Structure 1
Amino acid sequence: MSGALGRVVVATHNAHKVAELQRILAEDLPGVVLEAYEGPEAVEDGVTFAENALIKAREAFEETGVPAIADDSGIAVDALDGAPGIFSARYAGTRDDRDNLELLLTNMQGVADRGAAFVCAAAYVDGERELVELGVWRGSVLEAAAGEGGFGYDPIFQPDDAPVSAAELTAEQKDALSHRRRAFRALAATLAAPAVSQG
């Protein structure tokens, strides 16, 4: 799918992610037209970010017949052995961002090692190819939320390469640094590369 990519379905019901990917891919894949996915949610029963991203992309492609991209992302905390990891969105059992964030803060009370990483697996499926790339954004867990921007765990994540929480960055600043940016930039580079002749 090199050259003009045309239509691509974004396999998520998360409007924040759709908007973020539209901004990110507009630069890396000019001309791509992202479409929201209205189909059923895939059962994310993989054990890694990469497996779950591919599950979602496959489901969207099978439902629509249109090439699909998806991501699976979350926060992996060193002191919690990588938790909440792939369970980040449903960590508190309510699928509410604030509940998840507060539970993580509670579980990190008194913990000296605050190291963490946002991780994103970006997947692409078009019936012929299945691609997946990983992006990692290192930082630490703050002791209290800071900032009103972003979503998810952004208010309690302090990136190593920024002086403020992810929620205090502008959308443009976050787009330039984030795990999702890194994963989708790598995926875009693969998609934009000329096909290699087998003959």
Structure 2
Amino acid sequence: MELIFATNNAHKLEEVQQMVGDRFILKTLADINCHDDIPETGITFQENAKQKTDYLVERFAVNCFGDDSGLEVDALNGEPGVYSARYSGSRDMEKNIDLVLEKLGDSSNRNARFKTVISLYLNGEQHFFEGTVEGNIITNRIGTEGFGYDPIFIPEGYTQTFAEMSMLEKNKISHRAKAIAKLVDFLKSEI
């Protein structure tokens, strides 16, 4: 069975394909000739993930899934949240990190989490899968691996930031890996 992943990120696609195995053939937006900038105007991760699948179902009538994720910082009332990629008003992650650190200042509450929500549209039904990893925001960047807010986030139970971990190590505990594992378990139960 074919399943469209609402992404053009080949690395993401390969990672998920390995987890799913050969039971499903995953394709990207480019594979179905979709080059549109799919809107993400929701106020929650679930709304944004759902917008992606709704968009594809309405225009292409396909089985598909899409995701949205970001960082939630308790002392910032859950910010940057759904605006994680453009928190500073731009997609410059250095500026986004600077803004988080500036707003946190010397706050003793550094609790935060990364969250991913996946929306799956399969055979006329919509399903959601969530993954979360709790942790803390540190006061300065450490590490060069990963992307986004990884240099300032230490997951609970660890002493290294995500940016200090190898991709393999991070993917064992990350929010996205947890959500994908739930998606994969569901897909395997469907066939």
TM value normalised by structure 2: 0.89
Residue 169 of structure 1 corresponds to: 165
Q: Aligned match of 2:153 in 148, 154, 157?
A: 157
Change in 2 beyond 3 A, CA 1:20/1:175:
farther
Partner in structure 1 of residue 39 of structure 2: 43
Cα distance, 1:127 vs structure 2: 5.2
Deviation at 1:99, TM superposition (A): 1.6
Q: Which runs of 5+ in 2 are unaligned?
A: none
SS at match of 1:30: helix
Q: Does 1:30 align with 2:21?
A: yes
The alignment's TM-score, normalised by the length of structure 1, stands at: 0.85
Pick closer, same or farther for the CA change 1:21–1:141 going to 2, 3 Å.
farther
State the aligned residue count.
Answer: 186
Could you say which structure has the greater relative contact order, defined with CA pairs below 8 angstroms and 6 or more residues apart? 1
User: Does the CA-based 8 Å contact 1:58-1:68 persist in structure 2?
Assistant: no
Q: Offset at 1:21? A: 4.8
Among the aligned pairs, what percent are the same residue? 32
Which of 100, 106, 121 is equivalent to 1:104? 100
One-letter identity of the residue aligned with 2:167: A
- Output the CA distance in 1 between the equivalents of 2:152 and 2:26: 30
Match of residue 70 from structure 2: 74
Among 141, 147, 155, the residue aligned to 2:143:
147
How many Å apart are 1:96 and its aligned residue? 1.9
Matched-pair contact (CA < 8 Å) for 1:118–1:137:
yes
Q: Equivalents in 2 of 1:24, 1:142: separation in Å?
A: 30
Change in CA separation of 1:105 and 1:192 when aligned onto 2, cut-off 3 Å: same
SS of equivalent to 1:121: strand
Name the structure 2 match of 1:119.
115
Q: Is there any run of 5+ residues in structure 1 with no aligned partner, and where?
A: 1-5
Cα RMSD for the two superposed structures: 1.8
Name the structure with the higher helix share: 2
CA distance in 2, matches of 1:131, 1:9: 15
Q: Which residue of 2 aligns with 1:3?
A: none
Give the CA deviation at 1:92. Answer: 0.8
* 8 Å CA contact 1:73, 1:121 repeated in 2: yes
Shift of 1:167: 1.0
Output the CA distance in 2 between the equivalents of 1:37 and 1:162: 36
Aligned pairs (5 A) from 1:131-146: 131-146=127-142
Q: Is the 8 A contact 2:17 2:25 kept in 1?
A: no
Counterpart residue type for residue 7 of structure 2: T
